[in-house]
Structure 1
Amino acid sequence: MITKRKLIDIVKNSKLIYLTYYYLISPILSIAGLFIKAQKMECLFVCYGGRKYGDNVRPIYLQMLMDTRFRNWKFIWAFRDPNEFELPDKIRTKKVKIDSLEFFYYALRAKCWITNVSVQRGLSFKNRGTLYVNTWHGVPLKRIRCCVKDGFNVRTAEKFDLIFSEGTYDSKISVPAFQVKEKQIKITGYPRNDIMFDESLDLNKKVRRKYGLHDERIVLYAPTFRDYIKNDSGGFTFQKKLSPEKFQNTLGDQYKLLVRAHGAIEDHSTSDSSCVDVSDYPDVEDLLVAADILVSDYSGIIFDFSLLEKPIICFIYDLETYKKERGFFVDIEHFLPFKKCNTEEELYDAIKNIDIEESRNQARLFQKQCGLVKKGAAKNAVNEIYLALASQFK
């Protein structure tokens, strides 16, 4: 039996099937849009294809709810399972099931689309008067979208009106990756990171209480995915190159390993009692605040964690393979100022010998190098949306 995941994978990876799907369905939806009256004060939100209520999309929504300039607006959230999420507003906000007729109806009439990946489901049906905003979901070290070998077809790539970036580094990358002009990219910072600087929330205590942790030093292992490593159903799988048991035996009880698989990975479960699998924890920002040390590789989480100025270690055991299979925008070994390890032994030694002051200086250097915006990103983003709507999208 072909699963939905496998079917999606087939469509994505077969150029003929995808182009047939694209050129057959897109015109049908575009024609339908001619008969649906556009609403000047409706905004549609989609986060990770309807799987989540979070990332950069949620804080923008919450900010718009509070912003008096949007007091007469109505908001629509699209989810795979609308019953899974409770939203703070039930008067001005409606939930719909993604890929349903109701979803496409509201998508065709909304004045504004806000997403961290995509709204159009691999198609093209946006009305000319709709403002299409992409917040993206992580600053890329690895190549993305139109810059990936055999990746997005430039002709069928989505045409975004605004792209939000975390700093000057990813602004430059966004031009070729998203096929947009420089003026369409706005350096706002990532709205999801604002919460990390709200001390009243005590996110460290929240995470430790949930997982029964006390004074242990938390090491968060959060690698990116390998799109060349898949399971039988076609989904990305988690490559276990770090042994939780070896971690615990080497470093002792004063350290606790938290493992978070990339959101694109479906097969990530672990039965090892030596670590805590936090892959399903809803908000990674909470985990970043609680973590004392981040171990990652080529993931954009490095940029977010650097804002907290805590130790970062890059576990790049497959650098040459990843470079060949996926590719990078930069020379990883020279671009990242953090400690780099190729083996578990090197990693554990690096953890035991961390210099806090040196780590803080590395993070500050990285922030400056990438021109990262630290706070106030949600307000920045909503202001850019308002200005865009008030000008060319009247």
Structure 2
Amino acid sequence: MLAFRRLVTKLLKETKFFSRLYVLYSWCLISILKIISLGKTKKTIMFVSYGGKQVSDSPKRIFDLMQLDPFFKDYRLVWGVLDTDKYSEMGYDVVKMDSINYFRTCISARVWITNSGIKRYTNMKGNRTFFVNTWHGIPMKKIGKDEVSVKKSPLFQKKWEEFATADVNLYYTDYDYKILKHVFNANAESMKRMGLPRNDSLYEKANTDKIRQQLGIPSDKKVILYAPTVRGNQTESNGSNDFRVPIHLEKWAKELPNYVILFRAHYFVNKVLEDQNKLFYDVTDYPSLNELMQVSDLLVTDYSSLIYDYSILQKPIFCYAYDFDAYKAYQGLYEDDVDKKVPNFIQTEADLIDAIKNVDVKSEKRKTHSFYMRYIGENTRDSGKRVLATIKEAIQ
């Protein structure tokens, strides 16, 4: 089923005939469902995270806060997910993504909360629907209509148009404000400097001993979190995106015997082509990315937005850009001098190993703090509470 879904997505993205057929179908379906609903809204709040792949990220943080707030006790809090069995067994109220029930629930919902899109290329937002787009990170790589692949696809351009109808689009500083406002085609009033709710817990103390125990990390080992972004140019013809870890584990085990690697793949990656061993832990499915950040001693990433989130922790950051020129040519980056902006820009495996072996934590903390002030800034804590207050003011 997942392979079929990936193939359909690829066809919609790359084939004008299929994309136009889908737009016609969805327009007819939504029009019928809107007529049936009579324009009425219910006390329902719809959550979608990463296209229904997870119950996570900023929508989950807002969901948790709503469950504790008496204001929302009469509201139905429902998640759009791909795997309804998995999440219903975990106690969540769920609907199947892209089902008629999903569209019906969205049309009648009073509030939408998503980090990656909810409208599924349709025109189903009602006049009384309050739409919160948290997005899922500060962009280093080009996104949306700035991507070459999106420019070629009328349907995927339409996907990005949905954020122009959001009542709230979140950002951190002038850097991501300019990018997101442009990509979302958003009006200035919808842009709210509240940061990302998912990052609130990074300011809180974590029980790292418990997390280490859950992950099976030996007490005498330091922890490297390796979290690269997806490579769109590695996508197969069937839409699958498999990732082979670009490091030699035998060499790392020899050169860095006091470390283990927690590997976290991007949510677009379908398969990690590496076996788990005493050095390498595939934690892609671990439910809390924030806990992985908190338990780690340093971050190795590349063009992922995680590089900005991690700066909150004031720990060493290494940007391992082994394919920098190729990636910049294929995907594009928003800053030409990103190699001078990140705390440590490294292009070879040997240099990366050497940098980790000789890391000066105090010096790196100063670098990370400077990076944090540039892209995150002060007064961005308690994002979830501020978003919640904005929603309550809009719907009460």
Could you state the TM-score of these two structures normalised by the residue count of structure 1?
0.91
Aligned-partner Cα distance in 2 for 1:119–1:207: 35
User: Could you say which residue in structure 2 is the equivalent of 1:267?
Assistant: 271
Mapped contact 2:319–2:342 kept (Cα < 8 A): no
User: 236, 245, 253: which is aligned to 1:231?
Assistant: 236
Q: Secondary structure at the match of 1:41?
A: strand
Mapped contact 1:146–1:176 kept (Cα < 8 A): no
Q: Rate the CA distance shift 1:268–1:162 in 2: closer, same or farther, 3 A.
A: same
Q: Displacement, 1:75?
A: 1.4
Larger CA deviation: 190-199 vs 294-303: 190-199
- Which stretches in structure 1 are left out of the alignment for 5+ residues? none
Give the aligned CA root-mean-square deviation in angstroms. Answer: 2.2
Q: Displacement, 1:218?
A: 0.4
Q: Is 1:52 aligned with 2:54?
A: yes
Aligned-partner Cα distance in 1 for 2:389–2:340: 32
Q: Secondary structure at the match of 1:233?
A: coil
Larger CA deviation: 98-107 vs 20-29: 20-29
What amino acid is aligned across from residue 70 of structure 1 in structure 2?
F
User: 50, 75, 78: which is aligned to 1:76?
Assistant: 78
Equivalences for residues 124-143 of structure 1 within 5 A = 124-143=123-142
What amino acid is aligned across from residue 391 of structure 2 in structure 1?
I
Give CA-to-partner distance per residue, 1:41-97, whole Å, 9 cap, x none. 211111112111111111101112222333332211122122312688x7xx73222
Q: Is 1:24 aligned with 2:29?
A: no
Mapped contact 1:207–1:287 kept (Cα < 8 A): no
Q: Secondary structure at the match of 1:133?
A: strand
Q: Secondary structure at the match of 1:141?
A: coil
User: 255, 260, 274: which is aligned to 1:256?
Assistant: 260
Q: Rate the CA distance shift 1:105–1:72 in 2: closer, same or farther, 3 A.
A: same
Q: Rate the CA distance shift 1:31–1:142 in 2: closer, same or farther, 3 A.
A: same
Equivalences for residues 150-165 of structure 1 within 5 A = 150-151=149-150, 153=154, 154=157, 157-158=161-162, 159-165=165-171
Q: Rate the CA distance shift 1:165–1:86 in 2: closer, same or farther, 3 A.
A: farther
User: Could you say which residue in structure 1 is the equivalent of 2:9?
Assistant: 8
Q: Rate the CA distance shift 1:322–1:328 in 2: closer, same or farther, 3 A.
A: same
Equivalences for residues 144-155 of structure 1 within 5 A = 144-151=143-150, 153=154, 154=157
Aligned-partner Cα distance in 2 for 1:24–1:217: 53
User: 302, 313, 327: which is aligned to 1:322?
Assistant: 327
User: 289, 297, 300: which is aligned to 2:294?
Assistant: 289
Larger CA deviation: 16-25 vs 260-269: 16-25
Aligned-partner Cα distance in 2 for 1:208–1:362: 31
What is the number of equivalent residue pairs in this alignment?
A: 385
Aligned-partner Cα distance in 2 for 1:283–1:100: 28
Q: Is 1:172 aligned with 2:171?
A: no
Q: Secondary structure at the match of 2:148?
A: coil
Give 4+ residue runs of structure 1 displaced > 4 Å after superposition.
152-156
User: Could you say which residue in structure 2 is the equivalent of 1:216?
Assistant: 221
User: Could you say which residue in structure 2 is the equivalent of 1:112?
Assistant: 111
Q: Is 1:365 aligned with 2:365?
A: no
Q: Is 1:349 aligned with 2:354?
A: yes
What amino acid is aligned across from residue 220 of structure 2 in structure 1?
D
Q: Displacement, 1:215?
A: 2.4
Mapped contact 1:208–1:290 kept (Cα < 8 A): no
Q: Rate the CA distance shift 1:207–1:172 in 2: closer, same or farther, 3 A.
A: farther
What amino acid is aligned across from residue 352 of structure 2 in structure 1?
L
Aligned-partner Cα distance in 1 for 2:341–2:31: 44
Aligned-partner Cα distance in 2 for 1:203–1:233: 40
Aligned-partner Cα distance in 2 for 1:141–1:322: 12
Mapped contact 2:263–2:280 kept (Cα < 8 A): yes
Q: Secondary structure at the match of 1:56?
A: helix
Mapped contact 1:230–1:236 kept (Cα < 8 A): yes
Mapped contact 2:245–2:273 kept (Cα < 8 A): no
Mapped contact 1:30–1:127 kept (Cα < 8 A): no
Q: Rate the CA distance shift 1:255–1:155 in 2: closer, same or farther, 3 A.
A: closer
Aligned-partner Cα distance in 1 for 2:231–2:385: 34
Mapped contact 1:146–1:179 kept (Cα < 8 A): no
Could you state the TM-score of these two structures normalised by the residue count of structure 2?
0.90
More helix as a share of residues: 2
- Which stretches in structure 2 are left out of the alignment for 5+ residues? none
Q: Is 1:384 aligned with 2:390?
A: yes
Q: Displacement, 1:209?
A: 3.6
Q: Displacement, 1:319?
A: 1.1
Q: Rate the CA distance shift 1:45–1:333 in 2: closer, same or farther, 3 A.
A: closer
Mapped contact 2:245–2:274 kept (Cα < 8 A): no
Aligned-partner Cα distance in 2 for 1:297–1:163: 25
Q: Is 1:299 aligned with 2:289?
A: no
Mapped contact 1:244–1:272 kept (Cα < 8 A): no
Q: Displacement, 1:371?
A: 3.8
Q: Rate the CA distance shift 1:207–1:16 in 2: closer, same or farther, 3 A.
A: farther
Q: Secondary structure at the match of 2:118?
A: coil
Identity %: 29
User: 180, 192, 195: which is aligned to 2:198?
Assistant: 192
Give CA-to-partner distance per residue, 1:281-336, whole Å, 9 cap, x none. 11111100011010000000011110000000010111111111111111243552
Aligned-partner Cα distance in 1 for 2:247–2:209: 24
Q: Displacement, 1:258?
A: 1.5
